[in-house]
Amino acid sequence: MVFENEYVCAFLDIGPVSEGHTLIVPKIHAENLSQGTEEESRELMAVVHMLAPKILKAIGADGYNLGMNQGECAGQEVMHTHLHIMPRKVGMMRTFTKLRPTKEELATSAQKIRSTLESV
């Protein structure tokens, strides 16, 4: 877990495509974005707006991909709305192949991100 408020929680993906790959997940269940409310969608994006630059700073990344798969045919594996923040560094190959970090590597990345949020 790297962030939580009354609307969403954010945690590292266990099958990340890059270091710091974070999922933003609404606490209220909706299978996809269209099933949730407009207010819930705004809150999801507000957290992305706040959290993404903090993740980039923590990881030393230069940019990020923001992703959402909606429906099995689009690659949605978990049937609960969520957004992916996938940090990228200049020169890094832009791939969506899942990495296999150790629990220790994930814990280190999560701590880096949490340390940037102490002032939030």
Does the domain formed by 3-105 have CATH 3.30.428.10? yes
Q: Is 82 a catalytic residue?
A: yes
CA–CA separation, 23 and 47 (whole Å): 11
pLDDT-derived band of residue 118, with 50, 70 and 90 as boundaries?
Answer: confident
Predicted confidence at residue 95, as pLDDT, reads 84
Predicted confidence at residue 120, as pLDDT, reads 56
Predicted confidence at residue 15, as pLDDT, reads 92
Which of 21, 29, 82, 84 is an active site residue?
Answer: 82
Predicted confidence at residue 119, as pLDDT, reads 61
What are the two backbone dihedrals, phi and then psi, of residue 105, each rounded to the nearest 5 degrees?
-65, -40
Average per-residue pLDDT in the chain? 93
Q: Do 80 and 44 meet the contact criterion of CB atoms below 8 Å apart?
A: no
User: Model-level pTM?
Assistant: 0.90
